[in-house]
Structure 1
Amino acid sequence: MTILHLRGTVLPDATPRDLWILGDRITFDRPAAAALTVADGGFLLPGLVDVHTHPGSASDQEARWDPEAFAEQIAAHRDAGTTALRFPGLLGEIPDGLREAADAPRMITAGRWLAWAGLSKSADFHTVTDDLVSAAVAEAKAHDGWCKLMGDWDFEADPVPYDVLRAVTDAVHAAGGRVAAHCQSAAGVLNASRAGVDSIEHGMGMPEECVGLMAAHGAAYVPTLTPFARRAPRTPDTPRGRLWREGHRVMLRRVREAHDAGVTVLAGTDSAPFGNVATEVEHLIAAGLPADVAVGAASWTARDFLGLPGLVEGGLADVTVYDADPRREPAVLRHPRRIVLRGRVVR
């Protein structure tokens, strides 16, 4: 086994240190055996994380599972220094062997999108069920402890009722799992926040009171600003277009309010291009997050939320190395000098 050695300023502590990689683990104790130095200087981050990505679609416009596209898209994540991914909804099954591949990002899945049968309209890729409680518990047990619920879908439709969401959340928590909730309407976000889900995804119409509810329940906020920032300015001046634009403005306000209230804000890109979490970090900063918090949202904070140890003794051997401090120069996240994944140099 080749022992790897890296030297640099370790974030988030900003401490100059030497670390060694033994297999898939990190140690700060110098091994007796010789090591290969693969980074000398620069800034060492726990590998980047995208907590909301849906690889495997044939295209942004077509909800069709494509295993070859999935492999290409997670490779794009990896090549950008993104070493861990959470999938809150996949259209199909991960190809055999790919999840455990030595050069594949670590994957945390939540199964398929679960839609309550009472929603007025459901997209083809939603799994519609009358028994949302049983379906959610089954998905959480089968997929890394997470399930994904549609808290709402159509702007004009009633969201999933609070009592249904609360029953689902209580049952999943009792089974040791966690709930991610897609929410875009004001009523949908409010119901999910009151129900105590573990992460709110998007939150376009989020009322201000939801911030306190998320803080009280320990929920994370994943605004996925990247696709909304791209789409909102291009929407036509129609009632739906105005909803998109106003929703984007609401999300920008709530990001900073959530952080100020102690809510964990995390980085998720939600759409193509893949390997683009650096853009989400930039949007979080533009929304008012301190730069160190925004970088952490795509690195050490996200890893902690997902249960993936960072650059600590015995931590997982995922390291990205940069020439400059991304907390002061966030654009450097687009240009990793070295990427170590699962204890192997992949760049």
Structure 2
Amino acid sequence: MALHLRGTVLPDGTLRDLWILGDRITFDRPTGEARTVADDGFLLPGLVDVHTHPGSRTEEEARWDPDAFAEQIAAHRDAGTLALRFPGLLGEIPDGLREAPDAPRMVTAGRWLAWAGLSKSADFHLVTDDLVAAAVAETEAHDGWCKLMGDWDFEADPVPYDVLRTVTEAVHAVGGRVAAHCQSAQGVLNAARAGVDSIEHGMGMPEECVELMAAQGAAYVPTLTAFARSAATRIKDNPRSRLWHEGHRIMIRRVREAHDAGITVLAGTDSAPFGNVATEVEHLVAAGLPAAVAVGAASWAARDFLGLPGLVEGGLADVTVYDADPRLEPGVLRHPRRMVLRGRVVR
């Protein structure tokens, strides 16, 4: 039996009827019976967190726990986050979970890849002296993405531009895309010049990076939720913390500049609690994004970026229903009234 929903379809804002047949959406009324599961409200393509790392019990201990992974992606789903990108996982997704009918859609990028010359690499990094081969292998083994560490601390030199450029060209040659962790000014600049597909974090991003990213079509994923929380706990009277706070202020400024330059800004939390992408939307609004753009950063724009069709003819059957328009009241994202995932009602 088909499912039927009626409401204001976002982002176009048109009051419409849509039907779900299997895992696809249609606007043409099908023959046979249909069960109405929503008859008013605002219909949104299911929320997306484009930067999340489930799979550990604590943030301090980088140890893969498949049970924690299952619990944390369920927390995402229960909050209406119906698609996830993992730019770095500590282990393999448990068999059967990726395609489970109640599991969010998942886009993986394999392990965090750290160049052997990058100092102070963390325990969870996959350190390699052949970054090109490792990046291509991770890209081909996962969903067309790899995750590079462009830098790791403020004091040490970042990965050189020529290394990042060579890796990026090799990944692009096999049809893949590169997400780059960057939190130092030179690290962000090297990654932007190298033509990576998404800058993750971007603390200390030099102004010139905005033009570079716009010209190359790179997306910006600032993960403000994680950095706002971290900045609040850091003492401000030592050099490293001062760099951190200044970098956080620069990130906030660059969000609006990136949007104004035509760069796609996307919502990623990079932190617990899982299922908290609504907070990232609120941070993006506070940084100066129009509310509709900030909501899109966690919904239709994110899905388009990941190749997951939204509420269009033949699109994926992931729908969240809200009582109010989230473009006017972003806080309503915390309270989905109805959720359909993979064509099944999960709330």
TM-score range for the pair, normalised by the shorter chain length: over 0.9
Deviation by residue 1:51-91 (Cα, 9 ceiling, x = unmatched)? 00000012111111111100000000000001100000000
Could you tell me which amino acid in structure 2 is paired with residue 322 of structure 1?
A: Y
- In structure 1, distance between residues paired with 2:252 and 2:170: 32
| 1:150-161 map, 5 Å | 150-161=149-160
Deviation by residue 1:26-56 (Cα, 9 ceiling, x = unmatched)? 0000011110000010000000000000000
> 1:238 maps to which residue?
238
SS at match of 1:13: coil
- In structure 1, distance between residues paired with 2:238 and 2:36: 58
> 1:184 maps to which residue?
183
1:68 to 2:67 alignment: yes
- In structure 2, distance between residues paired with 1:264 and 1:114: 24
| 1:184-263 map, 5 Å | 184-236=183-235, 237-263=237-263
> 1:43 maps to which residue?
42
- In structure 1, distance between residues paired with 2:338 and 2:248: 35
| 1:247-286 map, 5 Å | 247-286=247-286
Aligned-residue Cα RMSD (Å) equals 0.5
Could you tell me which amino acid in structure 2 is paired with residue 121 of structure 1?
A: K
| 1:11-160 map, 5 Å | 11-160=10-159
TM-score (norm 1): 0.99
- In structure 1, distance between residues paired with 2:334 and 2:226: 18
1:3 to 2:2 alignment: yes
Could you tell me which amino acid in structure 2 is paired with residue 52 of structure 1?
A: H
Moved more, 233-242 or 97-106: 233-242
- In structure 2, distance between residues paired with 1:268 and 1:7: 29
Could you tell me which amino acid in structure 1 is paired with residue 50 of structure 2?
A: V
- In structure 2, distance between residues paired with 1:294 and 1:132: 34
| 1:302-321 map, 5 Å | 302-321=302-321
Could you tell me which amino acid in structure 2 is paired with residue 249 of structure 1?
A: R
- In structure 2, distance between residues paired with 1:147 and 1:100: 21
1:162 to 2:158 alignment: no
TM-score (norm 2): 0.99
SS at match of 1:63: coil
Could you tell me which amino acid in structure 1 is paired with residue 215 of structure 2?
A: A
Deviation by residue 1:257-281 (Cα, 9 ceiling, x = unmatched)? 0000000000000010000000000
Could you tell me which amino acid in structure 1 is paired with residue 246 of structure 2?
A: E
- In structure 1, distance between residues paired with 2:346 and 2:243: 43
Could you tell me which amino acid in structure 2 is paired with residue 155 of structure 1?
A: F
- In structure 1, distance between residues paired with 2:247 and 2:104: 32
> How far did residue 21 of structure 1 move?
0.2
- In structure 2, distance between residues paired with 1:346 and 1:272: 22
Give unmatched runs, 5+ long, in structure 2: none
SS at match of 1:269: coil
Deviation by residue 1:284-307 (Cα, 9 ceiling, x = unmatched)? 000000000000000000000000
- In structure 2, distance between residues paired with 1:98 and 1:242: 43
> How far did residue 121 of structure 1 move?
1.2
- In structure 2, distance between residues paired with 1:271 and 1:239: 25
- In structure 1, distance between residues paired with 2:304 and 2:345: 23
> How far did residue 231 of structure 1 move?
1.5
Could you tell me which amino acid in structure 1 is paired with residue 127 of structure 2?
A: V
> How far did residue 240 of structure 1 move?
1.3
Could you tell me which amino acid in structure 1 is paired with residue 67 of structure 2?
A: E
> How far did residue 327 of structure 1 move?
0.4
Q: Which runs of 4+ in 1 moved over 3 A?
A: none
- In structure 2, distance between residues paired with 1:288 and 1:169: 31
> How far did residue 338 of structure 1 move?
0.3
Could you tell me which amino acid in structure 2 is paired with residue 53 of structure 1?
A: T
Deviation by residue 1:124-164 (Cα, 9 ceiling, x = unmatched)? 00000000001000100011000000000011000000000
Deviation by residue 1:289-328 (Cα, 9 ceiling, x = unmatched)? 0000000000000000000000000000000000000000
SS at match of 2:40: strand
Could you tell me which amino acid in structure 1 is paired with residue 242 of structure 2?
A: R
> How far did residue 233 of structure 1 move?
2.3
- In structure 1, distance between residues paired with 2:256 and 2:40: 33
Could you tell me which amino acid in structure 2 is paired with residue 166 of structure 1?
A: R
- In structure 2, distance between residues paired with 1:5 and 1:176: 37
- In structure 2, distance between residues paired with 1:106 and 1:244: 33
Q: How many residues align?
A: 346
- In structure 1, distance between residues paired with 2:45 and 2:271: 23
Identical aligned pairs, as a percentage?
A: 87
- In structure 2, distance between residues paired with 1:144 and 1:230: 30
SS at match of 2:39: strand
> 2:295 maps to which residue?
295
